[in-house]
Amino acid sequence: MNYFDSVVLGIVEGLTEFLPVSSTGHLTIAEKLLGLRIDDDAVTAYTAVIQMGAILAVIIYFLKDIIAIVRGWFAGLVRPEHRGTLEHRMGWYAIVGTIPIGIVGLALKDVVSGPLRSLWWVGAGLVLWSAVLVWAERVARQDRGERQLTMRDAIVVGLVQCVALIPGVSRSGATISAGLLRGLDRVTATRLSFFLSIPALLAAGLFELKDVKGISAGQTVLGTAIAFVVAYASVAWLLRFVSHHSIARFVPYRVVVGLLVLVFVATGVMSAT
């Protein structure tokens, strides 16, 4: 890997981490086009680490909300009158909603970084999960806002987040779809998706940090910094977008990219790994 690769991967990570198009899928495609080994442990670890730049962007963007949630959660631990507040409940939702992907991610680590690191999975995930995005938008009631969130919502969305371990599915696409199917309005589902992403992706990045071997600290810092800048703009744009538009708007792009990947692999233009 060189510094040009770091710049490209940082941009791809920042652009796609929070859009319902699959950052892992796009990073895998980008790695292949750059001539990197997509099944290399160091490359896999590198992409997980630069995700922390995107997570930092979310933390800063929602800093006021996060501070309120942390304060509300701690206040509720010692003062019963605070336990019914949205902030206290959101703290528990983020914690409980993250547990499933923590367990599944650790249990299937070798599968996720091994067999699933294939363009066959990327192409299939992009195409097949697109149907879920369309279905979620069509049946969504969108009659519940953030104050109507429940622990069941957090658990369901957290469980569905595990599906995003499959490249091409998209963590944000999976969690926003799950929120819509639970009756949440699109902005609430998107915000919940963001809040659940913080502990999940931060833990993944820290866990993989030890495996970034053969890639310089400068390249890692550069990719992470670029991911941060691009992701911050992406988060701001997505929140404005979902307030007026369906996430199914991303489906044509997902399907075209997914089919192209499958055709290229099937015809030998690109190898699957």
pLDDT average, residue stretch 5-28? 94
d(CA 135, CA 247): 11
The answer to whether residues 116 and 166 touch, using CB atoms and an 8 Å cutoff, is: yes
d(CA 11, CA 3): 12
pLDDT average, residue stretch 44-65? 92
Q: For the chain, what are the domain ranges?
A: 3-117+127-252
- Give 126-147 pLDDT, tens digit per residue: 999 999 999 999 999 999 999 9
Q: What is the 3-state secondary structure (H, E, C) of 53-76?
A: HHHHHHHHHCHHHHHHHHHHHHHH
Whether the per-residue pLDDT at 202 is higher than 90: the answer is no
Q: Residues 103, 199, 71, 83: is their CA dihedral positive or negative? A: negative
**In terms of pTM, does the model score above 0.85?**
yes
